[in-house]
Amino acid sequence: MNAPQKLCCALLTLAATSAMAQTNYPDRALRLIVPFAAGSATDSSARIISTQLSTQLGQQIVVDNRAGAGGAIGMQALVKSPADGYTIAYAGAGPLAINRSMSANLPYDVEKEVQAISQGISSPLLLAVSPTLPVKSVKDMIALARTRPGQMSFGSAGNGTVGHLAGEYFKALSKTDILHVPYKGGAQAAVDTMSGFVQFLFDPTSSLAPHITSSRLRGLAVTGSKRIKPFPNLPTVAESGLPGYEVTTWGGIIGPAGIPRPIVTRLSEEVQKATKSALVVERFAALGTDPLGSTPEQFTEFIRKEYLKWADVIKRAGLKQQP
């Protein structure tokens, strides 16, 4: 056998081996990187979906929390992983859409190094105010803020978080002058809102629900397009005084770029199936969260639109990129 024939045989063997590996996928445990700490809202959503996904795939999915730098540490670990479908991640608005406009030196490129697989969830935030604030509706709060320019403040889990940008978006649409106070986490922001040190905050339902139920905070509205099951009496921000306002926090399954298309398709279909399962639907409904799946193309387009939306909010708010 001459050299060209040997090369041809080698290539055919490699192609056959690759095809066999894809056909048998998955034949071992998967690693799911979560770029935030255990117990965070992102982590909780990732574990709900991954538990069902593990059952469907017949393989263990090991959650690997890689917290730090607003999700950048976990994302960097993902894009440096082999593109074989055995290392995937669960990430949302911060790492995939917001950080690109907030950080000048991200160690990863979403468009070039990340493969979108399927969106997993979409969830509104809650707008909650301090019980000491004399308002009962979004209209009341806007009216009060306009009489106190620069005197009211809102807290968030930190600069560039969805809660922070939800507040900046609120300021822009309501034409109010309100101070942002960043914290190292949503729990600290909630505590200071309860005491009246800051007047309000936007945060996930799972975080604020206990405080609203116990009346330590007063819920005013939800930021999505519709009311939610846990708080059916809370209107949306749009229907209660600020038309056009809509903010959601979301997450989905991604992988490093270069994963073979058959594996991407298989994973996407399994995630879509998982988000329709009775157990997943029930667990997310209790949190006011909508489980939903999508094709890789749909998720890619959704990420692009979210990036453009938040880039505009960040620019209009005059927020500076962090080094």
Q: Where are the alpha helices (DSSP H) in 58-156?
A: 72-79, 93, 99-102, 110-113, 138-147
Domain total in the chain: 2
Q: Are residues 183 and 42 in the same domain?
A: no
Q: Are residues 112 and 135 in the same domain?
A: no
Q: What pLDDT shows up at residue 67?
A: 93
Q: Helix, strand, or coil here: 253?
A: strand
Integer CA distances (angstroms), 274 to 61, 134, 270, in order: 14, 44, 6
- Cα angle 53, 36, 97 (rounded to 5 degrees) comes to 85
Q: Is the dihedral of CA 83, 44, 252, 110 positive or negative?
A: negative
Does a structural domain hold residue 305?
yes
Does a structural domain hold residue 37?
yes
Q: Are residues 166 and 216 in the same domain?
A: yes
Q: Are residues 193 and 255 in the same domain?
A: no
Q: Are residues 258 and 312 in the same domain?
A: yes
Q: Can you say whether residue 237 is alpha, beta or left, with left for phi > 0 and alpha for psi between -120 and 50 degrees?
A: alpha
Nearest to 34 by CA among 22, 45, 26, 19: 45
Q: Are residues 93 and 146 in the same domain?
A: no
Contact between 287 and 123 under an 8 Å Cβ cutoff? The reply is yes
Q: What pLDDT shows up at residue 20?
A: 47
Contact between 246 and 305 under an 8 Å Cβ cutoff? The reply is no
**How many Cα atoms sit within 13 Å of 291 on the Cβ side?**
23
Q: What pLDDT shows up at residue 6?
A: 54
Positions in the chain whose pLDDT score sits under 50 = 10, 12-21
Q: What pLDDT shows up at residue 17?
A: 44
Contact between 238 and 246 under an 8 Å Cβ cutoff? The reply is yes
Fill in the amino acid letter for 11: L
DSSP 231: B
Tens-digit pLDDT profile for residues 74-108: 999 999 999 999 999 999 999 999 999 998 889 99
Q: Are residues 143 and 85 in the same domain?
A: no
Q: What is the CATH number of the domain that holds 214?
A: 3.40.190.10
Nearest to 68 by CA among 77, 55, 58: 77
Q: What is the CATH number of the domain that holds 106?
A: 3.40.190.150
**How many Cα atoms sit within 13 Å of 135 on the Cβ side?**
23
Does a structural domain hold residue 44?
yes
Does a structural domain hold residue 229?
no
Q: Are residues 108 and 154 in the same domain?
A: no
Does a structural domain hold residue 193?
yes
Tens-digit pLDDT profile for residues 150-199: 999 999 999 999 999 999 999 999 999 999 999 988 899 999 999 999 99
Q: Are residues 118 and 263 in the same domain?
A: yes
Task: At 17, give phi and psi (nearest 5°).
Answer: -65, -45
What distance in Å separates the CA atoms of residue 223 and residue 288, rounded to the nearest whole number?
12
Give the tokens for residue 111.
């468009």
Q: Does the reported pTM lie above 0.85?
A: yes
Kind of pairing between the strands at 218-222 and 179-182:
unpaired
DSSP 97: I
Q: Are residues 176 and 129 in the same domain?
A: yes
Does a structural domain hold residue 153?
yes
Does a structural domain hold residue 256?
yes
- Cα angle 144, 149, 151 (rounded to 5 degrees) comes to 85
Q: What pLDDT shows up at residue 41?
A: 85
Q: Are residues 117 and 135 in the same domain?
A: no
Q: Are residues 214 and 176 in the same domain?
A: yes
Integer CA distances (angstroms), 196 to 13, 51, 149, 181, in order: 68, 39, 17, 13
Integer CA distances (angstroms), 296 to 57, 139, 195, 272, 283, in order: 18, 40, 44, 11, 24
Domain span at 112 = 29-123+249-317
Does a structural domain hold residue 6?
no
